[in-house]
Structure 1
Amino acid sequence: MKKSIFSLVIVALAFTACTTKDKYDVARYYDLHQQDSVLTSIVTYIFSAPPYTKMQDRFDPKHREFYSLASSRFSIFKYYISEEGTHFFYVVRPGPTDLQKRGVGGYFKMDKNFGMKGFHEVFVTPILPEAEVKGRCTFLFEEMVNHSIDKYLNMEMYVQWPNKASYYDTITYEWKPVQEMFN
């Protein structure tokens, strides 16, 4: 009897351990439909504008379909919502070939209507093989969540932007050359 109870406890623990989700898994927060919606919103900020559209006009609701279609080439690899309500993300985005990707890390707040506000791209990795973007570069996400990313932003093997020549403009939501900061 004791052996069978012990066996049940072991099986239950093993099952629980196998179903415990990664604390940075977006599925902890959203179902698949909601994940698609959040990803599409992130892609609107981090991707280029639709053809014949100015970057400042990319947020117009008529362009949502363009970003929804484009988002199929992106994935939310890591996601975390802090106790303060800050949403941190690490998205894998397309590179020039199917085998090459980039990682993009950043954060935002979400209003009661699920609109993003205070969006900020913190870093973009160089173009790398997908395994490296999902492997060695993901520590940057944890450092960002823990507010200790700054010391890594100068490491060119992990971070392409920001760099000495660029900064993230939180008004236009774009990476810009440093000289534009002074114009």
Structure 2
Amino acid sequence: MTELENEFGKEVKQGAVVMSLKRLTEELDFKLNHKINKVIKNIGEITVRSELTDYTFAASETVLNKQADLISDINTLSDIFYTSSRGVNETNIVVSSSVNHLVEKHFMREKLIQKLDNLASITVKLPKENIVVPGIYYFIFQRLAWEGIIINEVISTSNEFTILVGEDQVDVAFKVIKDLKN
């Protein structure tokens, strides 16, 4: 307070500082929410896939080679969902359930941490502005959480993200995301 009083050359009351900060916060919130709403209104295509399985394997020196073999096998198959991500301690693979036997064949000697069946994915194409506006993901995930949607995985690229949910929750999750545009 002393610093402000020196700056203004008069006594500054705490209530005045609190009210100024509140007005400033409201103005910033309005500007930020306006930007978020603008991006959300321009959400592009929403794609839903069902009958997916999510595998999580412990990181190992051989996991990438196994992954390359799996990709080679499924590359010739049409309409197969496949995505993977590699963390520090684990590798995640999500595939169409119809190729579970191939995953299990190639990774039988790897340490399986978790396998989740009966999943569905919702992929959302975001406008390019999404990478310069903070809070886009928070806004979407907040709405999903309010509806009690459990998100099993999140996979993203610069301009799209995919969430994995149980097949029993995909209809509600899709509606929540679709309704964001309105």
The two structures share one fold, judged by TM-score above 0.5: no
Q: Which has the higher contact order (CA 8 A, sep 6+)?
A: 2
Report the TM-score when normalising by structure 2. 0.24
Structure ID, larger Rg: 2
